[in-house]
Amino acid sequence: MKKHLILAAACTLALAACGKGDKPDAAASESAAASAPAAATSESAAASPAAAAAASGDKPTKEFVVGKWGNDGDCSLAIDLKADGTSDGPFGKWTYADGVISFPEAPEMKINVTVDGKNMKSVNAQGGKHEMTRCP
C-alpha cells in the first residue's frame, strides 16, 4: 500500500511538473500582462496556464497544476489532474493550495510542488523528490 501511495504521489507530481508545456516563459507572460488591459489579461490567463504560471522556484498557480503529468519524464503512468478537482489517478479527487497537492481520500499524501521551467519539482510527505513532466 505504501508503494502504491508513493507511486501515486510521484505520478501526481510528474503531472504537475509538465503544467507549463510549450508556452512562453513567465517573464514574457509578465511583460504581456503589463501592457494588456485588465479584461484582456484576465481572459488570456484563463485561456493559457502559462500566463498565470509563476517563475522557476515559485509555487505554481492552480491553472499551472491542472493537466496530465508524468513522473521524471515518463508519461506511461501519467495522472490527469482536472480543473474540476477530479483525476484519473488512484484517488478520484485532488485539491491544491499554497504549493501543496492533496488527495482527500488519502489525507496523509501531500505533495509540495514548485515551478521548474516547464516542469515542476515535487517532494512528497516521505521526502521523495521527483520532476513532474507535462504529458500530452
89 versus 20: which is more confidently predicted? Answer: 89
Contact call for residues 70 and 14 (beta carbons, < 8 A):
yes
Residues 6+ apart with CB under 8 A from 10: 71, 72, 122, 124, 128, 130
Kindly state the cell numbers that stand for 29: 507572460
Count other Cβ atoms within 10 Å, centred on residue 62.
16
pLDDT score of 6 = 40
Q: What is the mean pLDDT of residues 93-122?
A: 94
79 versus 27: which is more confidently predicted? Answer: 79
Reduced to 3 states (helix: H, G, I; strand: E, B; else coil), residue 71 is strand
Contact call for residues 65 and 53 (beta carbons, < 8 A):
no
Q: What is the mean pLDDT of residues 40-55?
A: 44
Count other Cβ atoms within 10 Å, centred on residue 136.
9
